[in-house]
């Protein structure tokens, strides 16, 4: 049983645990859930238990089964995409089977943390600030909790504190390259359909993309680019395309970064990085929730098996080839408008759609799905 101990005179509380998890988003909460379910003592330190991450909340259906998540968290099931290349007319892709489940991030993250807590993880609201010198070979972290100092000693640390990771910065690791996004909430009505997710490639933001993901009553609309300067105009152009005035997005306008995967280190000494703090967002589709949860799970598995370094190998075996392929596509996409047009238009072909959607929705499909997708795509695009 863990408890906070402290010297009343100093006002500092102390906590000892085997694994400290910094961040209680999809990566941290999932790591905590699997560690605790396997009897590993762990603490999830989350800066703000009421935090709602700006996010489209789109998660492929296969993830719910694979990670045993309740489908009751899904606010809307979407089984069609509307895709706009930079120059030619938009087209639709209807899924043969499966769907994208749209979740509300505040509720979703909270449910994941509750699942961890139900397994025995200690969840506490507090902010990691920095590392202190190690004590008896244990990692020592300084945090703040309810305005008071908290010192946590642990054997291992999982950094799941997102794209602006303070843990990364404290270890003087290279800053993360990122895609800059500007998003807004719009009501699902009129031109904003609840039937499909919309993607616009290279259309409003040069070398970037825009999206509309419908939720229960509101849709998450946004635009992302590697150059942050033109995001506001790009969002306004997206609204204009939907026949909406710029003021339609004036409320709840939020900017955020999405990390670009560059093969960032997953393990440094006794610190394991999961989710956005390790740049684990799929290039090109910018899907991060599933990969954050799976990274948390694999980090936990490595610790459970008694070899934290195994995390690197587990991730590599499972996901590296997909990430490399999608990074290649992203590079091709970025290079020229003609490249973007050719690549996105390839998805007008029914076989490209079928293999691409299978790869996206069914994450348990093995290397066969990946090679089928590459094979059919090669016929359409030279890269
Ligand atoms: C606009 C936008 C739209 C997106 N849409 C989608 C989508 O539709 N589908 C999808 O799959 N992905 C989407 N993503 C990506 C997805 O949101 C992330 O990849 C995912 O949230 C990563 O999970 P995480 O747990 O690694 O990090 P986060 O979700 O960022 O969680 C990190 C947690 O750490 C906490 N924290 C931070 N610093 C500290 C600290 N110092 N101490 C303690 N706690 C701390 C934060 O409060 C937060 O709860 C989108 C991203 C953006 C920006």
- What's this model's pTM, rounded to 2 decimal places? 0.95
Answer yes or no: is the C-beta of 256 below 6 A from any ligand 1 atom.
Answer: yes
The mean of the pLDDT values for the chain is 92
Q: From the CB of 60, is ligand 1 less than 6 Å away? A: no
128 and 90, same structural domain? no
* pLDDT at 250 exceeding the cut of 80: no
The answer to the question of residue 60 being in a domain is no
213 lines ligand 1 (CB under 6 A): yes
Interval 357-380 mean pLDDT: 80
Residue 215 placed within a domain = yes
80 in a structural domain: no
376 dihedral zone (left: phi>0; alpha: psi -120 to 50; beta): alpha
Query: Mean pLDDT, to the nearest integer, of 285-289?
Result: 95
Q: What is the pLDDT of residues 145-174, one digit of tens each?
A: 999 999 999 999 999 999 999 999 999 999
Q: What is the mean pLDDT of residues 298-314?
A: 98
Tell whether 150 and 293 lie within a shared domain: yes
The number of domains in the chain is 3
Pairwise CA distance, residues 365 & 282, whole Å = 16
What percent of the residues of the chain are helix, what percent strand, and what percent coil, each to the nearest 5? 35, 30, 35
Q: Which residue range forms the structural domain that includes residue 254? A: 85-101+178-259
Show which of 236, 259, 282 is a domain's final residue: 259
Residues 214 and 122 in one domain: no
Q: Could you give the CA distance from residue 329 to residue 101 in angstroms, rounded to a whole number?
A: 25
Is residue 210 within 8 Å of 259, Cβ to Cβ?
no
For residue 227, what pLDDT is reported?
86
Mutate to test the pocket of ligand 1, among 168, 289, 296 (most ligand atoms within 8 A of CB): 289
Beta bridge partners of 258: 179
Tokens standing for residue 103: 């979740």
CATH number at residue 240: 3.30.9.10
pLDDT at 1 (0 to 100) = 42
Q: Residues 197, 280: one domain?
A: no
d(CA 24, CA 125): 9
């Amino acid at each position: 049983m863990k408890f906070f101990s402290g010297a009343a005179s100093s006002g500092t509380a102390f906590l000892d645990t085997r694994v400290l998890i910094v961040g209680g988003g999809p990566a941290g909460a999932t790591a905590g859930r699997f560690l605790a379910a396997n009897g590993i003592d762990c603490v999830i330190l989350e800066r703000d238990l009421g935090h709602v991450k700006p996010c489209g909340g789109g998660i492929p259906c296969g993830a719910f089964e694979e990670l045993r998540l309740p489908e009751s968290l899904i606010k809307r099931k979407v089984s069609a995409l509307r895709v706009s290349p930079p120059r030619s007319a938009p087209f639709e892709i209807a899924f043969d089977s499966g769907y994208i489940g749209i979740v509300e991030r505040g509720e979703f993250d909270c449910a994941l943390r509750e699942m961890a807590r139900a397994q025995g993880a200690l969840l506490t609201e507090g902010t990691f600030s920095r590392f202190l010198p190690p004590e008896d070979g244990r990692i020592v972290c300084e945090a703040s909790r309810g305005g008071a100092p908290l010192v946590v000693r642990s054997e291992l640390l999982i950094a799941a504190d997102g794209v602006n990771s303070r843990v990364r910065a404290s270890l003087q690791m290279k800053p993360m390259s990122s895609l800059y996004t500007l998003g807004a909430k719009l009501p699902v009505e009129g031109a904003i359909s609840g039937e499909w997710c919309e993607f616009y490639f290279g259309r409003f933001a040069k070398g970037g993309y825009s999206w509309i993901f419908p939720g229960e009553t509101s849709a998450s609309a946004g635009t992302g680019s590697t150059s942050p300067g033109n995001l506001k105009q790009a969002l306004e152009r997206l609204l204009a395309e939907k026949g909406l005035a710029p003021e339609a997005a004036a409320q709840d306008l939020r900017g955020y970064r999405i990390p670009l995967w560059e093969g960032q280190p997953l393990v440094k000494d006794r610190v394991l990085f999961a989710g956005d703090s390790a740049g684990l967002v799929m290039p090109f589709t910018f899907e991060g929730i599933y990969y954050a949860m799976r990274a948390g799970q694999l980090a936990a598995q490595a610790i459970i098996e008694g070899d934290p370094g195994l995390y690197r190998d587990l991730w590599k075996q499972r996901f590296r080839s997909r990430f490399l392929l999608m990074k290649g596509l992203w590079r091709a996409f970025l290079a020229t408008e003609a490249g973007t047009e050719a690549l996105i238009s390839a998805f007008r072909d029914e076989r490209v759609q079928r293999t691409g959607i299978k790869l996206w929705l069914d994450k348990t499909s093995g290397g066969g799905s990946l090679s089928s997708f590459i094979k059919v795509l090669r016929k359409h695009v030279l890269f």
